Amino acid sequence: MQQQQGLWETEPVATLVASERAWLESRRVQWPQAVELWVHPSALVAERGCVSLSLDAAGRLGGPMVARADCLPFADDSLPRVVLQHALDLRPAPRALLREAVRALAPGGHLVVFGFDALSPTIWRCRISRRGMRRNVGVNLPLRLAQLGTQLGLSDIHRFGFSVGEAPPREGGWPRPAYALVARKNVRNVIALRRAAPAAGAAVGGMVPAANRRAEACR
């Protein structure tokens, strides 16, 4: 645990994490105010103003509630916004957490995933020089996560890259040390199973009474 704690406090990891949070704070201005679930490694400081859950390498969640990454204690389609800050980088990689996050995300809600890019030379140098990072932190390909998100029902997926000393983050482009995937959950389409019943009479108080076919059949 001390190795993991020290990892997130060293450079360039600490600067990247701070840049991610500052960037997301600027994005919140563009989104309506909503309850936000924030899941992060247990070694990171909890984010204020949201439901913050810490995740350890064994897949256990701590904080205001105790749960597992593969079984979030939230109903389907109930969370307007979910943020996973390097939660998918922990080993073993909790891919089930991504599925659970999408399940609990409300239709039209936003999902934000922060992670280390597996193709970034900076991250590979960090993994070689820091034994704790090789043991406790994995890396993912943003493209694969985006493909998995699409299969789970996400759309409008955008990738932003974070580099030390580079502001603001850029969308797309070559791999940078850290990335952010921003996506929305698809809104379920309501399909009419039958044609609308014709009006049976004149409007009364702004409402048009519909024909009651069941009542007519009983006459």
Tell me which H or E stretch contains 105. strand 105-116
- Using one digit for the tens of pLDDT, what is the confidence trace for 172-191? 877 888 999 999 999 875 55
Decide: 64 and 53 in contact? Cβ < 8 Å. yes
| Among 132, 96, 99, CA closest to 6 | 132
Please tell me the number of Cα atoms within 13 Å of 11 on its side-chain side: 4
Q: How far apart are CA 196 and CA 215, in angstroms?
A: 17
The answer to whether the peptide bond before residue 64 is cis (omega within 30 degrees of 0) is no
- Using one digit for the tens of pLDDT, what is the confidence trace for 51-93? 999 988 788 899 888 888 889 999 999 999 999 999 988 766 5
With 0-12 / 13-18 / 19 or more C-beta atoms within 10 angstroms meaning exposed / middle / buried, residue 177 is buried
Q: How far is CA 96 from CA 8, 200, 207, in A?
A: 23, 52, 48
The answer to whether the peptide bond before residue 12 is cis (omega within 30 degrees of 0) is yes
Chain centroid offset of residue 19 CA: 18
- Give the model's pLDDT for residue 1: 46
* pLDDT confidence band for 210 (50 / 70 / 90): very low
